């Protein structure tokens, strides 16, 4: 294999490695985004519950 062929092969291999790494990173990012959305929804639900509790306590007074 000549120098140019080897260099071209190395570049193709490098490109494949980078693409595979990016696919892995994007997959992990999607998981993190999903978890953040779950936490945000739970936080919203908790504040809604706290508001309801506050209202019911005020009504009792």
Q: Given this model, what pLDDT does residue 58 score?
A: 58
**Within-domain flag for 18:** no
**Within-domain flag for 32:** no
**Within-domain flag for 22:** no
CB 1 within 8 A of CB 9: yes
Q: Given this model, what pLDDT does residue 44 score?
A: 76
Q: CA 14 to CA 22: how far, in whole Å?
A: 12
Q: Given this model, what pLDDT does residue 4 score?
A: 81
**Within-domain flag for 49:** yes
Q: What is the pLDDT of residues 11-54, one digit of tens each?
A: 999 999 999 999 999 999 999 999 999 999 888 776 666 666 56
Q: How many domains does the chain have?
A: 1
**Within-domain flag for 1:** no
**Within-domain flag for 7:** no
Long-range Cβ contacts of 5-12 (<8 Å, 24+ apart): none
**Within-domain flag for 46:** yes
pTM check: above 0.75: no
Expressed as residue numbers, the domain containing 58 is: 37-61
Two tokens, residue 23: 């696919």
* Residue 1 scores a pLDDT above 90: no
**Within-domain flag for 57:** yes
């Amino acid at each position: 294999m000549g120098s140019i062929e080897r260099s071209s092969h190395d570049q193709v291999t490098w490109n494949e490695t980078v693409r595979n790494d990016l696919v892995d990173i994007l997959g992990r990012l999607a998981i993190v985004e999903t978890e953040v959305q779950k936490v945000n929804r739970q936080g919203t639900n908790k504040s809604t519950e706290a508001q309801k509790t506050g209202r019911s306590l005020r009504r009792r007074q």
